[in-house]
């Protein structure tokens, strides 16, 4: 992602992914297309509230909505997720190196075992 437009699009994708409800909607869509009503069914919120989440996902390019009369069918769009994965993959080596350093530290440093406290004997 080298241009400002790409950065803005990536910001929108990560913002959309930051909400649990939207992640659940995407997980459902990974199994195939669904209507807005089907996507709303598992949630204890109003249909307009779920529609707002769907609109945010649509604006981020993460789903495509098609109208068929009264029904709105939603489908997962994978390209923005691929861009997010590519961004995260750039830092994978950092995570690996950091975890390797932590493992080396733990293995080489003598970590004293916690002391057990002895009860004092009362003198009678």
Q: How far apart are CA 80 and CA 83, in angstroms?
A: 5
The architecture CATH gives domain 4-80: Orthogonal Bundle (1.10)
pLDDT score for 122: 65
Q: What residues are paired with 75 via a beta bridge?
A: 64
According to the model, what pLDDT value does residue 2 have? 43
Give the pLDDT confidence score for residue 3 in this predicted structure.
40
Q: What is the pLDDT of residue 93?
A: 74
End-to-end CA, the chain = 77
- With a cut of 70, list the residues of the chain below it in pLDDT: 1-5, 95-96, 99, 102, 109-124
pTM above 0.75, yes or no: no
Contact 22, 56 (CB under 8 A): yes
Domain ranges within the chain, ordered by starting residue: 4-80
Res 50: pLDDT: 96
């Amino acid at each position: 992602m080298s241009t400002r437009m790409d950065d803005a699009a990536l910001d929108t994708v990560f913002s959309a992914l930051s909400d649990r409800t939207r992640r659940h909607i995407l997980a459902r869509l990974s199994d195939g297309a669904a209507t807005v009503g089907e996507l709303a069914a598992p949630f204890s919120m109003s249909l307009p509230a779920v529609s707002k989440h769907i609109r945010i996902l649509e604006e981020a390019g993460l789903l495509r909505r098609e109208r068929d009369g009264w029904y709105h069918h939603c489908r997962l769009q994978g390209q923005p997720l691929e861009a997010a994965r590519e961004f995260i993959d750039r830092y994978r080596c950092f995570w690996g190196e950091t975890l390797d350093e932590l493992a080396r530290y733990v293995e080489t440093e003598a970590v004293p075992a916690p002391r057990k406290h002895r009860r004092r004997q009362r003198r009678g």
